[in-house]
Structure 1
Amino acid sequence: MRRRIAALTAILALTGASAMADSGSTTGRFDRPAHGFAPASTVLTQAQPEQAGLDAAPIRAVERRLAAWTADDAVDGHPLFPGAVGLLAHDGRIVDTYATGSAVRYADGSGTELPEEAQVPMRAGTIFDLASVTKLFTSLAVLQLVERGRADLETPVATYLPEFGVNGKESITVRQLLTHTSGLEPFLPLWRDWPDRASRIKAVMDVAPRDEPGTTYTYSDLNLITLGVLVERLTGSTLDTVVAERITRPLGMRDTGFNPPRAKLDRIAATEYQSAPDRGMIRGQVHDENAWALGGVAGHAGIFSTAHDLAVLGQALLNGGVYRGERILREQTVRMLFTNYTAAFPGDDHALGFELNQLWYMGGLTSPATAGHTGYTGTSFVVDPLSRSIAILLTNRVHPTRSWGSVNPARQAWATGLARALAVRPARGRDSWFSGAGDGTTATLTSPRLTSDDGRVSVSFAAFVDSEATDRLVLEASTDGGTTWQPVGLRASGRGAPTGTVDALSGTGHRAWWKVHGTAPARGGVTVRWRFTTDGSYTARGVHVDAIRVTESDGPLLDGEHDPAALTTDGFQLRSR
C-alpha cells in the first residue's frame, strides 16, 4: 500500500496536483519537488553548477570516480570501461558535460592496446551505440500513432499485424508490448538461426508466448522488434525514417539515428570485438547481433546518439513533449511515460516504453515518477520530473569485450552525484547531520550518556530519508554504556512516511522531512544513537537527521540544535544543504 501511495504522490506532482503546499522556487532543491511540467519554452543552456543552485562538490567527486574507472587496473587488471561521456542537467541548464578515457583503445578481444597514436580519446561530442535505449524511440513512435488514431493501446497487435496473431498471441495488446507484459520470451538468436531479414521477422511473428499474456513481467527484445514492425506497417515507412522525420529532426538531434553515415565514423566510440558472428572490432555499426542481422534498423536496438542530443530529448519530455516550439507528443501522452502500468509486478515498474523507479541505475534521482532506460553497450538515460533533472551516462563498456563487468555502479554514482548536488535544507537551524554512506557501510550519531530519574525518555527528531529499502536508519538505546543496543520503535509523520510504529526508516521518492518520535528506556541513564547501515548493493542520496531533542518529564536532556558538539559522529557530517 505504501508503494502505491508513493507512486500516486509522484504522479500528482507531475500532473500539477499538489500533495503538499509548495512555497518558493524548486531550482536547486531536492527537497522541494516540482509540480507539473517545465515551461514549454525551456531550452537547454550551459551553466556552472552554482548558477543552477547546485553544490559542485558532489559532481566533481563523481567525475573523479568516472576517471578512475577508466584506469588500467580499475577492475581485475583492466578498466571497468575504456571511456565515458556524462551529462547532467537541471532546470533547463546543462551543469556538467564530462568526457574521460578513450573512445577507441583496443585492437582485439583480448585487450591488446592499439599504438597510442591510433587510439581515439573520448570527447563531449562522441557518438555512442545506445543499444536498448533505442526502445524509447520506438515507443515514442508508437505513441505518436496512438495520438493520430492509427493505433490503440488496448487493441490486439494482431489487428495491425495479422501474422502476429498466432500460437497464443491473438490477445496480446499494444500496451502489453510497451510494458513487457506480453509473456514473450526475452530473446531469440535471430542472427544465428534464420538466414535473412524476412525469415527473422517471421520468427518473431511466429513465436509462442512463454507465459500467459498479462500474468508476468518479462523484459523482451521481441516486444520492441514487433512494435518496430507495427510502426513500419502503419506508416508505410521504415522505422529509421519515422524516427528521423517525427522525433530527431523536429528536436534538432543532428547526431541521432540508425546506421550513422561513414562521414561520422571518426566520432563514434568502438564497441566489441566479435568472433561469433565474425565481425572483428565493431565501430560505426550496431553492436547488437540481432539488430545487425536486421540491417541495423530494429525496434529494440540500433540508434546511435550523443549525450547532448539525448539531453534535448530529456528536456522535451520535461517540457511536456515540446522543444523549441516543436511538439512530438501531447502533454497527456507524456504523462503516460511517467505513469506505472505494472503495479501488479512490484520492482518492475514500467510506463509505456520507459522504466520507472529503478534504483540500480537511477541512484539518488530514483522516484516512482523517474523514467529512463539503459543499454547493453553501457549507456543510461534518466529523467527526473520531480527535480526537473537529467542524468546521462554513455560508456563503451563492451570495448573490447562484454566480459569485463557491469557499469551499474557508475550509472548509479553518476545520477547520485546530481542528486547530492541538489539541496536538502535543514528542517531547523543552519545545518543538519548528513550521511551518504556507501555500500556495506555503517554511520552512527551518538549522544552522551543522559541521566534521568524517569523510567523512559522521549526522543524526537526530523529525518529526511532517501535510501534503498534495505538501507535503514534506526534509533537505538543503550543503558549499559554502549555495550548492548536495543531498537527504539518510531512513529513518523510527513509526506510518504510509514504508518504505525516501525523499527527503521528507509525508502526513496517522497523527498520530504518527516517528524519522528520514539520512547527509550532510561532507568539509571541512557545513551541513544542514530545508525544508518547500508547493504552491499545500491545506494540513493542518503539520510539527514535534524532537530534532535531528548526530554524527560522535567525538561530537555539533550538539544541537538543548541549543542551539536555533544553528539559523537562516525560517518555523519553537519551540512547546510
Structure 2
Amino acid sequence: MIAAGLAAGLLVVPLVHATTTSAAAGGGPAVKFMPPSTTLGTASPTDVGLDPAPIEAAVAQVRSHEQPVGSARYPLYPGAVGLMGYEGKVVRTDASGWAVAYGDQGVALPADQRVPMREDTIFDLASVSKLFTSIAVVQLIQEGKVGLEEPVATYLPEFAAGGKEQVTVRQLLTHTSGFVAWLPLWSAYPDRESRIAAVMAQPLDAPPGTRYLYSDLNLITLGVLVEKLRGEPLDQVVAHRITGPLGMTDTGYNPTAVDRTAATEYQSSPPRGVVRGEVHDENAWSLGGVAGHAGVFSTAGDMAVLSQALLNGGRYGKARILSPASVRLMVTDFNTAFPGDNHGLGFELDQRWYMDAMSGPHTAGHTGYTGTSIVIDFDTHSFAILLTNRVHPSRDSGSVNGARREWTHGLAYAQGIDASRGDDAWFSGDANATTSTLTTALDVPAKGGRLAFDLYLDTEESDLLHLETSADGGATWAPLPFVVRDRGPVDHPDGVTSGSGTRRWTQARADLAPGSQLVRWRVVTDPLYLGRGVLVDDVVARAQGGLLLDGEADPGGFQAVGWRLVAR
C-alpha cells in the first residue's frame, strides 16, 4: 500500500507568485518541470519503460544491511523503507526489517516485542527537516517579505551580535555564513529562550561568504526568522503552508501516532532511554521538538508527494506551495565559488557521495543523521527516498551512504540509455575499483586515417576514460588524443577524459597514425561513487583508401574485457 500522503492535494489559496532575482525569473538552470496537474499513481517498472532488474538488485542490497556483519553487535540499521518514483508513478516501495528491535541498554528485544517496518512507518527525518524550513523561507521570499541578499539582521536585529551584521539570508540557506557547525545547546543552556539567544549571540568562525561549512545554526536561525515574520510557531507554519495543502497527513513535528514511528537511539545522556516518537537530535529536543534544523517526522509516501510537487514546479493536485520560479531558485547552485559543495536554497545539489548515478547539475536532495535521504532528479523526473533507523539502538553502527548509493543507483540504471545508433552500444560496466578495456585491431595505410565514435560519458571526475593505441601488439600503450564535440562546444582530451552530468551522446574524433596497431578504450574506476558510466557506439575507422572498421556491422571486431553490448 502507498501511504495516505499520496492522496490528492487539498484546495488552497495559492501563494503570491513573486520573484526577487534573475535566477528566480528564469536565469537559473534549465530545470524541466512536469505538468503541474500531475499526481502520483502506481505502476510497475516495466509499465513505464524501466528495467526491473537494477531496482530489484537495489532492494536486495538495502535489505542485506539489516543483519550484523562479522563481529558487529548491531546491523547497519534494523530496517528500512525505500520508495522510487518515475514520471509521476511510484514504481517500487519496499519495507523490510524492524521499526523497533532493541530496548534499554541496546539489548535485542524478543521476537514478540519487535515492531516490523511498514510502508507507512513514520521516521524522524533529522536534517531532511531543513528542507521544510527552507521552503518556508522561500515562500517568504516569493511573497516579497524577505530579500534573499538582505542581511538577516534586517529581520532579526539581535542576530547582528558577534559581528554577523552582514550575513545574508542566502548565506544561511547555502551554509556560507561563517557560522560554526554546532553548539551544545541542550546541555549548555537551561531553557529554550537561552538556547535561541545563544545562537543569536554566537560570533562567526569565518568572514561571511568565504567558506562552506554545513551548520545547524544556519537553519535554527532561519526557523526563528520564519516564526517572527509569520507570527506563529514553525510547526504551524509548516502545517498550514506546506504539509496541510499537500495532503501530507503523516508529516509534522512531535508525532502523535507513536505506535507507527521507527525507534532511534538508546540515550543515557541525556537519560531518555530508547527514543521513539520524539526527535532524536538533542538540540531540537531541547527546543521542544520544533526547530529549523531538525524535528520533522514523515513517511516515504508523504515525502514522495513533496518530491512530486517540486517536480511539478511547486504544485500538487489543486495546491500550490511554490511558484515554478521559486523552485528553480531552490535548485540553483549558489556555491560555484566552492566546487564540490554545490548548494541551492536548502537543497544540496549534484552530490555523488549519496546520489550516485542520479547525481547531476539538476539533481537536488538532502540526508539526515538518523539514516534518511531524499534525491530528486529534475532531468529524468524521478526521485529516490530511503528511510532507515540507522541510529537504533546506537549512532555508532556506521554510515548508510553505501545503502543510499545502492538505492539511487538502482533507479538510475533502471532507466537505461538508448544507443546512439542501432539496437545496442558498448558499455564499460557499473562496478567500482575495476578496469575494463574494449580493443580493436586496425591496419592504417601510409597516409593515416580517422577514428570516429559516439561517446556517452557520465562518471565522477576520478573515474577516467583512456583512449590509447599500441604499435607493439599491446606490450606498451600511448595516449591517443581525440576531440569531443557536444552540440557546439569542443573538448580536446589528451587521450584521457572524465565527466559528469550531461547525460547525452557526444561525437568523438581522433587521427590515426599509419601502421598496424591496436586501439582501445580503457575505463578505470576508483573505489567509490559511480555515474551512469561510459558507452561507446557507432565506431567507424576510415582512411583515404576506404573503410577500416564499421563497428555496427562488425561487433565481433572488438575484444571486450569488462565491456558488454547493451540494448538500452
TM bucket by the smaller chain?
A: over 0.9
Q: Would you say 1:154 and 2:149 are equivalent positions?
A: yes
Alignment correspondent of 2:181: 186
Superposed CA offset, 1:347-379 (max 9, x none):
111111111111111111111121111111111
User: d(CA) in 1 for partners of 2:386 and 2:43?
Assistant: 19
Structure 1: which 5+ runs fail to align? 1-8, 15-35
1:42 has 2:38 as partner: yes
**Which residue of structure 1 aligns with residue 446 of structure 2?**
454
- 2:227 alignment partner in structure 1: 232
Following TM superposition, by how much is the alpha carbon of 1:569 offset from its aligned partner in structure 2, in angstroms? 1.5
The one-letter code of the counterpart of 1:511 is R
Contact 1:436–1:541 at 8 Å: present in 2 too?
no
Residue by residue, what CA displacement relative to the aligned partner does 1:172-207 show, whole Å, maximum 9, x if unpaired?
111111111111111001111111111111110000
1:573 aligns with 564
| Matched letter for residue 156 of structure 2 | L
Distance in 2 separating the partners of 1:72 and 1:384: 32
Query: 362-371 or 433-442, which moves further after superposition?
Result: 433-442
Q: Could you say which residue in structure 1 is the equivalent of 2:78? A: 82
How far 1:84 sits from its partner (Å)? Answer: 1.1
Q: 1:496 to 1:193 in 2, by over 3 A?
A: farther
Note if contact 2:178-2:206 (Cα within 8 Å) is conserved in structure 1: yes
Task: Structure 2: give runs of 5+ residues left out of the alignment.
Answer: 1-25
Task: Give the 3 Å change call, closer, same or farther, for CA 350–198 of structure 1 in structure 2.
Answer: same
1:414 maps onto 2:431 in alignment: no
In 2, are the aligned partners of 1:478 and 1:526 still within 8 Å (CA)?
Answer: yes
Give per-residue Cα distances to partners, 1:402-426, cap 9 Å, x unaligned: 1121111111121121111113111
Percent identical residues: 54
Residue in structure 1 matched with residue 129 of structure 2 by the alignment: 134
**What amino acid does structure 1 have at the position aligned with 2:506?**
W
Q: CA separation in 2, counterparts of 1:460 and 1:532?
A: 18
Question: 2:27, 2:118 → 1: CA distance?
Answer: 36
- 8 Å CA contact retained: 2:241, 2:321: yes
Q: Given the superposition, is the C-alpha separation of residues 407 and 62 from structure 1 closer, same or farther in structure 2, using an over 3 Å criterion? A: same
Matched position secondary structure for 2:118:
coil
Change in Cα spacing, 1:441 to 1:56, as seen in structure 2 (3 Å) is same
2:21 corresponds in structure 1 to none
Indicate if the aligned counterparts of 1:454 and 1:553 stay in contact, CA closer than 8 A.
Answer: no
Which of 290, 310, 316 does residue 309 from structure 2 map onto?
316
Name the SS of the counterpart of 2:96 in structure 1. strand
Give me the whole-angstrom Cα distance separating, in 2, the residues matched to 1:230 and 1:496. 46
DSSP-derived class of the 1:391 partner: strand
Relative to 1, partners in 2 of residues 1:44 and 1:74: Cα closer, same or farther, differing over 3 Å? Answer: farther
CA–CA separation in structure 1 for the residues paired with 2:487 and 2:216: 38
State the alpha-carbon separation in 1 of the partners of residues 322 and 160 from structure 2: 29
Partner of 1:550: 541
* Aligned positions of 1:24-43 closer than 5 A: 36-43=32-39
Q: What does residue 361 of structure 1 align with?
A: 354
Which residue does 2:328 correspond to in 1?
335
- Any residues of structure 2 matched to 1:469-480 within 5 Å, and which? 469-480=461-472
Structure 1 counterpart SS, 2:30: helix
**One-letter code aligned to 2:555:** P
**What is residue 515 of structure 1 aligned with on the other side?**
507
Structure 1 residues 536, 109: closer, same or farther in 2, change over 3 A?
A: farther
Q: Tell me the secondary structure at the aligned position of residue 412 of structure 2.
A: helix
Partner of 2:552: 561
Contact map agreement 1:13 1:386 (CA 8 A) in 2: no
Aligned counterparts, 1:270-419, within 5 A: 270-419=263-412
Q: Which residue number in structure 2 is paired with residue 266 of structure 1? A: 259
Q: Secondary structure of 1:285's partner?
A: coil
Listed one character per residue, the Cα deviations across residues 33-79 of structure 1 (whole Å, up to 9, x for unaligned) are xxx31111000000001111211111111111111121232795642
1:480 partner amino acid = D
- Contact kept, 8 Å, 1:314 with 1:383, in 2: the verdict is yes
> Secondary structure at 1:37's aligned position in 2?
coil
> Which whole-Å CA distance do the structure 1 matches of 2:357 and 2:179 have between them?
32
1:490 aligns with 482
Report the secondary structure of 2:473's partner residue.
coil
Q: Could you tell me how far apart the structure 1 residues matched to 2:169 and 2:329 are?
A: 14
Alpha-carbon contact 1:10-1:367 (below 8 Å) kept: no
Contact 2:284/2:290 (8 A) holds in 1: yes
How far has the Cα of 1:555 moved from its partner? 2.2
Match of 1:30 in 2: none
Q: State whether residues 74 and 80 of structure 1, in contact with CA within 8 Å, keep that contact through their aligned partners in structure 2.
A: no
Match 2:112 to one of 114, 117, 134: 117
Q: Give me the TM-score of the superposition, normalised by structure 1.
A: 0.91
Which letter does structure 1 place at the counterpart of 2:45? P
> What number of residue pairs does the alignment pair up?
543
Provide the secondary structure at the position in 2 that maps to 1:299: coil
Q: Distance in 2 between matches of 1:452 and 1:161?
A: 73
Query: Cα distance 1:562–1:109, how it changes in 2: closer, same or farther (>3 A)?
Result: farther
Structure 2 SS opposite 1:13 = coil
Question: Quick check: 1:497–1:514 contact (8 Å CA) kept in 2?
Answer: no
How far 1:270 moved relative to its partner?
Answer: 1.1
Amino acid at match of 1:58: P
- Deviation string 1:189-242 (CA, Å, 9 cap, x unpaired) is 111111111111111000001000111111110000000011111111110011
Which position in structure 2 is the counterpart of 1:468?
460
Report how far residue 521 of structure 1 moved: 4.1
CA distance in 2, matches of 1:485, 1:75: 45
Taking the aligned partners of 1:13 and 1:298, their CA distance within structure 2 comes to 33
Which residue matches 1:201?
196
Give the letter aligned to residue 265 of structure 2.
E
Matched residues in 2 for 1:235 and 1:90: separation?
35
The alpha carbon displacement at 1:498 in A equals: 5.9
Equivalents in 1 of 2:511, 2:97: separation in Å? 53
Query: Structure 2 CA distance, aligned partners of 1:417 and 1:428?
Result: 25
Alpha-carbon contact 2:349-2:365 (below 8 Å) kept: yes
Displacement of 1:252 in angstroms is: 0.3
Q: Distance in 2 between matches of 1:11 and 1:258?
A: 32
Question: Deviations 1:467-507 (Å, cap 9, x if unpaired)?
Answer: 11111112111122222221211210115966234332322
Secondary structure at the aligned position of 1:353 is classed as coil
Question: Is residue 296–residue 302 contact of structure 1 (8 Å, CA) maintained in 2?
Answer: yes
Letter in 2 for 1:429: G
